[in-house]
């Protein structure tokens, strides 16, 4: 009898502790973190119906309060670094002709990106597009080998495999020559034994830093990743896009052929990629920051003003350190202004209410909206959420496709064949709010028209259309999986 009383007392104590912890978690989610209602509701459901597991998941995946303060400080530091750029932006905004040169009717989007992210509009760029990993990485290695003063590389993932070691070797060679080599990688995207992988760079005088470094062998963070993929050579040449560094991005992984999109840029837009790298580097490498002097021509060469090409480019960045969600705002603005077509590639399609409604209204108004998602799930919950959102949009006239020739990881979209957006941001909540992303917006009718033609050709050769009839006749099991995944999609 006494044992049963003791056990019941222990059980009551544990239950009381669970209740108190859950109440604290709910108060934090609802009142302190000021989340979007859908996200707050999803977290509350998880914490209430799966008390212990839900709380553990929240601890590792959901906490924003401390990180918001942390990244607010990063945002202030970035803003201080961008002071001299703001002067250029102010004078550019005053020049009315600048906003009517080459934006193809999307001038207002350019203005919005300027105001939300200080995204300088540059009008003298040459842009090359890569869709194949072998071509992209050969161009990347050639660019690194051409460096005379510095190499700045910032990537989410680098694998300790053949390609990863090859890129490290090329970087080490330049460091040995006396070139400044700075490499920044995310803690969640590097192997546990990364010191051995990066040893050749460090031994030859280069510097490697880990963004939000963890004391554990494997980073436990699910959010707040540096998801950017940036390379800047001598302040004159830049790369941005979706490819990470590893053999799988050459199609050697379990998912098969890897379809992605990356840009090589020469011209004024490189200065904004450079600013992005320096801001992230200085936040991480506080002991060895890059000090920018007035009229600095080593990191910001004078000849960036020369006529490299005719492409108008803006580089926008977003993350937990930005308040206006610039990339998200740019997407929604482009959707609303498109008159003829919207073509989207994305591996993760989990739009919020605003973006979903913008796409739905565009389709209802007669705009040709097409979206390609993977046919192979690298993340099962996201795969089913993808299909759920896409299925609902198909009811409004959006045409949905699955990429059947491997895995599509491309974060690219085309608007009226005039604006081509390529970068690191997926069409999901994590990319728009929780991770650090960078996206290029290219206003060029020639590049846009070619990208649109390639997109349509690819739909015929490498994709399978999901018909509305097929979607409506899906199995009960699929509907359940979609429903569960969509319910918790604000957490994905």
Catalytic residue positions, numbered: 227, 229, 234, 409, 411, 416
Q: What is the dihedral of CA 274, 278, 279, 284, to 10 degrees?
A: 140
Residue 38: CB atoms within 10 A of its CB come to 14
From its phi and psi, is residue 183 left (phi > 0), alpha (psi between -120 and 50) or beta?
A: beta
3-state secondary structure labels for all residues of 26-80: HHHHHHHCCCCHHHHHHHHHHHHHCHHHHHHHHHHHHCCHHHHHHHHHHHHHHHH
DSSP 99: G
What residues are paired with 180 via a beta bridge? 150
Q: What is the dihedral of CA 12, 18, 22, 25, to 10 degrees?
A: 140
Element (H, E) at 357: helix 353-364
- 413 with 343: CB under 8 angstroms? yes
- Between CA 303 and CA 331 the distance in angstroms is 31
- Between CA 342 and CA 335 the distance in angstroms is 7
- Between CA 423 and CA 442 the distance in angstroms is 11
* Strand ranges in 242-310 using DSSP code E only, listed in sequence order: 258-259, 262-266
Helix segments in 82-185, DSSP class H = 83-94, 107-117, 133-145, 162-176
What residues are paired with 176 via a beta bridge? none
Using a 10 angstrom Cβ sphere, with 0-12 exposed, 13-18 middle and 19 or more buried, the burial of residue 57 is middle
- Between CA 459 and CA 208 the distance in angstroms is 41
- Between CA 122 and CA 190 the distance in angstroms is 33
In total, the chain counts a number of residues equal to 492
- Between CA 412 and CA 424 the distance in angstroms is 9
């Amino acid at each position: 009898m006494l044992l049963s009383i003791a056990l019941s007392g222990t059980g009551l104590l544990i239950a009381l502790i669970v209740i108190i912890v859950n109440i604290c978690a709910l108060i934090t989610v609802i009142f302190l973190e000021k989340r979007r209602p859908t996200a707050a509701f999803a977290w509350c459901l998880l914490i209430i119906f799966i008390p212990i597991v839900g709380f553990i998941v929240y601890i590792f995946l959901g906490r924003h309060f401390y990180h918001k303060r942390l990244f607010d400080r990063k945002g202030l530091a970035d803003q201080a670094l961008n002071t001299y750029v703001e002067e250029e932006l102010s004078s550019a905004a005053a020049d009315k002709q600048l906003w009517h040169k080459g934006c193809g009717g999307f001038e207002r989007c350019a203005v919005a990106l300027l105001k939300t992210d200080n995204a300088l509009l540059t009008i003298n760029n040459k842009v090359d597009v890569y869709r194949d990993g072998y071509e992209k990485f050969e161009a990347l290695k050639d660019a690194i080998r051409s460096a005379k003063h510095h190499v700045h590389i910032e990537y989410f993932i680098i694998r300790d495999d053949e390609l990863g070691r090859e890129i490290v070797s090329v970087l080490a060679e330049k460091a040995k020559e006396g070139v400044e080599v700075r490499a920044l990688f995310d803690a969640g995207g590097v192997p546990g034994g990364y010191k051995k992988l990066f040893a050749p760079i460090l031994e030859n005088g280069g510097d490697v830093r880990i963004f939000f470094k963890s004391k554990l062998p494997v980073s436990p963070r699910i959010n707040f990743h540096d998801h950017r993929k940036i390379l800047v050579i001598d302040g004159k040449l830049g790369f941005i896009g979706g490819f990470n560094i590893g053999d799988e991005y050459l199609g050697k992984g379990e998912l098969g052929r890897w379809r992605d999109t990356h840009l090589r840029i020469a011209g004024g837009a490189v200065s904004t990629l450079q600013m992005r790298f320096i801001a992230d580097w200085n936040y991480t490498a506080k002991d060895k920051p890059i000090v920018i002097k007035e009229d600095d021509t080593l990191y910001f060469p004078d000849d960036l003003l020369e006529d490299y090409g005719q492409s108008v480019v803006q580089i926008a960045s977003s993350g937990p350190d930005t308040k206006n969600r610039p990339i998200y705002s740019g997407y929604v603005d482009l959707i609303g202004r498109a008159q003829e077509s919207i073509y989207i590639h994305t591996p993760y399609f989990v739009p919020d209410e605003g973006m979903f409604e913008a796409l739905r209204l565009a389709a209802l108004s007669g705009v040709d909206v097409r979206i390609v998602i993977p046919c192979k799930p690298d993340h099962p919950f996201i795969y089913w959420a993808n299909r759920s959102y896409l299925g609902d949009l198909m009811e409004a006239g959006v045409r949905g496709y699955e990429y059947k020739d491997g895995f599509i990881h491309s974060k690219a979209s085309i608007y009226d064949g005039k604006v081509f957006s390529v970068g690191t941001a997926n069409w999901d909540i994590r990319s728009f709010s929780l991770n650090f992303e960078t996206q290029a917006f290219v206003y060029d009718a020639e590049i846009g028209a070619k990208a649109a033609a390639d997109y349509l050709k690819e739909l015929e050769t490498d994709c399978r259309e999901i018909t509305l009839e097929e979607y409506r006749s899906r199995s009960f099991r699929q509907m359940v999986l979609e429903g569960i995944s969509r319910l918790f999609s604000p957490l994905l």
